Amino acid sequence: MTAKTQPHILVVDDELSMRELLEFLLSREGYKISLAETGRKAIAMLDKNDFDLLLCDIKLGDMTGLDVLKASKTKHPDTTVIMISAFATTETAVEAMNMGAYDYVPKPFDNEELKQTIAKALDLKTIEHEKEIIEDELKKNLHFDIIVGNSPAMLHIYKMIRQVAPTRTNVLITGESGTGKELIARAIHQESGRSDKPFVVINCGGIPETLMESELFGHKKGSFTGATSDKKGLFEVADKGTIFLDEIGELSLPIQVKLLRAIQERTFKPVGGSEELSVDIRIIAATNKEVEKEVIEGNFREDLFYRLNVIEIKMPPLRERKGDLRTLAQHFLDKYSREMGKKISKISSYAIDMLNKYDFPGNIRELENLLERSVALSTTNILLPDSLALSIHKRRWIEGIRDRRFDLDEVSQGVSLDNILEEIERAYLLKALEVSNGNKNKASELLGISFRSMRYRLDKLGTNSD
């Protein structure tokens, strides 16, 4: 957006009533509004003015809105464009977004949602500019190319990585499954003086207890049945580098004792061996458990906990860093588009809104899985709301609403009635579609509403799917 206190919007629509409505609606939001009733007039105005945003109907009297979109992108590539239409099809919407439109809004539109879409679009340039500055700073100072996200929570974590990486201090990374704990461990290793040495990962929950000691410390030939030769343990393999103990809370108490000694002494004996081996390693551990609770319950040694938890980095769940969702989704979209040889370049803001309304209990791992499936199933080169493979997520969401008990006493603490009603409306719409096997005519009959009302409500809630 240009550096002005009052964003300038050009509204293009051949219906006088619609131009008047949009002028009234948007002027009240503090925008400067210019109007054009034809495509030719709009293009002439684009020749003379630099607009922050173009709001253009797809169907005009003298030409199509796509022609105006093309002219706008040629003359002013940085002008944000939103298309509106009562006649838009999926193909038209995809074509508009391929030509550079920020989004499309179907008529009839919800006034509040249109205002929110415009506000997001106008904010996007500022956000993208700030993002570029942040990313340049991160790449210059931190080189965290493997981590995606610029939310305040992630910037705090980047700062911690920068502070702890040069030291040999042990680090404990906590957080729910799927939040990216291993990526943080790798970033610490890459930013340390050990970056050219091994980074060894041990999944403590994936190795049987009977084999864990041998995996960690190695064994000598003949030390147990099947030990046909000497084997180096991962502690020895990681010498001079970093060892990452993932799911540390899954270790048995006997193994915890031996791990504690190895960390304290920096020495260990292979299974069946008599000679002490010495190593220089940096320990990073991770867990999705509440280790303090495990200590209290006697499942985790307190002395080992304090050895590992010199510095703790808490990874936020995805639901607490929704500002990163668009960036993460685009990252996975690009990744799987390349891998599958598809040319899917963009996710519509309505699709992002749909994702924002889901809490992703599986965090980033679940989002990645969703985008991988969506790319695989998509038949267009833009991910629209109906392109998202959200069937499993919808079922979980419906079940969550069904099990919810609305407590009227919550009113005394303050509630959002709009949000509550929206949750209920979405649950009924999705359940009707499920019962009718996706037949919108049948679903609308089950809900006692018209087919047109059904489509409007689905579009409004970002749940439309064909």
Q: Which two tokens stand for residue 380?
A: 């267009």
Q: Which two tokens stand for residue 181?
A: 């704990």
Q: Is the pLDDT of residue 388 over 80?
A: no
Task: Classify 350 as helix, strand or coil.
Answer: helix
Which pLDDT score is estimated for 379? 80
Q: Is the pLDDT of residue 75 over 70?
A: yes
Q: Are 10 and 51 in contact (CB under 8 A)?
A: yes
How far apart CA 63 and CA 43 sit, in angstroms, is: 11
| CA atoms within 13 Å, Cβ hemisphere of 230 | 5
pLDDT, tens digit, for every residue of 33-46?
Answer: 999 999 999 999 99
pLDDT, tens digit, for every residue of 15-37?
Answer: 999 999 999 999 999 999 999 99
Q: Which two tokens stand for residue 1?
A: 């957006």
Q: What DSSP assignment string belongs to 372-415? A: HHHHHH--SSEE-GGGS--HHHHHHHHHHHHH----GGGGGG--
Which pLDDT score is estimated for 228? 79
End-to-end CA distance of the chain: 35
| CA atoms within 13 Å, Cβ hemisphere of 63 | 16
Which residues partner with 10 through β-bridges?
Answer: 34, 54
pLDDT, tens digit, for every residue of 121-177?
Answer: 888 766 665 556 555 655 544 445 568 887 888 888 888 998 999 999 999 999 999
Q: Is the pLDDT of residue 275 over 80?
A: yes
The top-scoring range by mean pLDDT among 111-120, 384-393, 407-416 is 111-120
Q: Where residue 407 falls among pLDDT bands split at 50, 70, 90? A: low
pLDDT, tens digit, for every residue of 331-364?
Answer: 999 999 999 999 888 887 777 877 887 788 889 9
Q: Is the pLDDT of residue 400 over 70?
A: no
Which pLDDT score is estimated for 125? 63
Which pLDDT score is estimated for 446? 87
Q: Is the pLDDT of residue 200 over 70?
A: yes
| Torsion sign across C-alpha atoms 224, 269, 262, 234 | negative
Angle at 208 between CA 206 and CA 209, to 5 degrees: 125
Q: Which residues of 95-113 are buried (b: 16+ CB within 10 A; e: fewer)?
A: bbbeebbbbbbbbebeeeb
How far apart CA 389 and CA 374 sit, in angstroms, is: 5
Q: Is the pLDDT of residue 59 over 80?
A: yes
Q: Which two tokens stand for residue 29?
A: 């939001």
Q: Is the pLDDT of residue 464 over 60?
A: no
Phi-psi region of 360 (alpha: psi -120 to 50; beta: other; left: phi over 0): left
Domains along the chain with CATH numbers = 8-129 (3.40.50.2300), 152-314 (3.40.50.300), 321-461 (1.10.8.60)
Task: Classify 34 as helix, strand or coil.
Answer: strand
pTM of the predicted model, to two decimals?
0.60
Closest Cα to residue 87, out of 60, 111, 112, 68?
Answer: 60
Instruction: Give the alpha-carbon dihedral of 329, 335, 337, 341, to 10 degrees.
Output: 180
Which residues partner with 382 through β-bridges?
Answer: 346
Lowest mean pLDDT among 35-44, 54-63, 264-273, 347-356: 347-356
What's the whole-number average pLDDT of the chain?
83
Q: Where residue 462 falls among pLDDT bands split at 50, 70, 90? A: low
Higher pLDDT, 90 or 355: 355
Exposed, middle or buried by CB within 10 Å (0-12, 13-18, 19+), for 300?
buried
Indicate the residue type of 171.
V
